[in-house]
Amino acid sequence: MVIIMLGAPGTGKGTVGKMLSEKFGIPHVSSGEIFRSYSKKHGTVSKIIQNYIDNGQLVPDELAINLMKNRLNESDVKNGVILDGFPRTIFQAEKLHEIFKKQERKVNIAVNLSLPDEEIIDRIVKRRTCPNPECRAIYNLDFKPSKKEGICDLCGTKLIQRADDNIETVKQRLETYHQTSEKLIDYYKNQDILYTVKLNSKSDVTTMGIAEEIKRYLGI
């Protein structure tokens, strides 16, 4: 089972992806986490990656593909994976197809989360994240606040606002998305594996109904 999460930044791909991971029992793999992890460990290249992230730009195709290829060769994703944040370009999607073809696998469904830009901006600037690498829980000051202000409900770590969760960077990320990643919607629609979920900006997206809908769509 291979599920790809599509949608603009801030639509909740990570939150829904983790929910689906629990529902289907397969790993949730976030390209953002891979990039951030790599950027902390590898000297000059790490600074280049972090610069792209901080400025709301895409990590170059070649580097993104190589990092994801390495991750998809690990043993825990052999029986299935939920990809969040990859592919982001048609070129990456084509290379991903080649990787899976060699592994005798394919993408089963591309889940597209849809939300207007102005609501996305509001969501992101009010987002708070748990920096604990073993947790990474996400909260929202409006519709999903932590029980104790500024503290993660799950692990007790102090919540942070990511450096790139500001209006200027979000607008740049959205512009980049519309210029590149948005084309993936048609790419997977033409393969008849696109499933679009229209979101409500004032409610949490982690409803079990989404997982049930996808299960019915896949006939499992």
Topology (CATH level 3) of domain 2-115+167-218: Rossmann fold (3.40.50)
Question: What crossing angle do the helices spanning 61-72 and 31-39 adopt, rounded to 10°?
Answer: 100
For the chain, first and last CA: distance in Å?
Answer: 11
Whole-number pLDDT of residue 206: 47
Going by C-beta distance under 8 Å and a sequence separation of 6 or more, which residues neighbour residue 41? none
Radius of gyration of the chain (CA): 17
Handedness of CA 150, 47, 36, 9 (dihedral sign): positive
Residues annotated as catalytic are 13, 88, 127, 162, 173
User: Which of 174, 200, 196 has its CA nearest to residue 185?
Assistant: 196
pTM of the model: 0.80
In DSSP terms, 151 is beta-bridged to 148, 158
Residues found in the chain:
220
In order along the chain (220 residues), what is the average pLDDT of each group of 10 residues? 92 86 91 70 63 76 90 93 94 96 95 91 93 90 93 97 90 89 92 88 58 78
| Edge-to-edge strands, sheet with 81-84 | 28-30, 81-84, 2-7, 109-114, 194-198
Three-state SS at 158: strand
Whole-number pLDDT of residue 201: 58
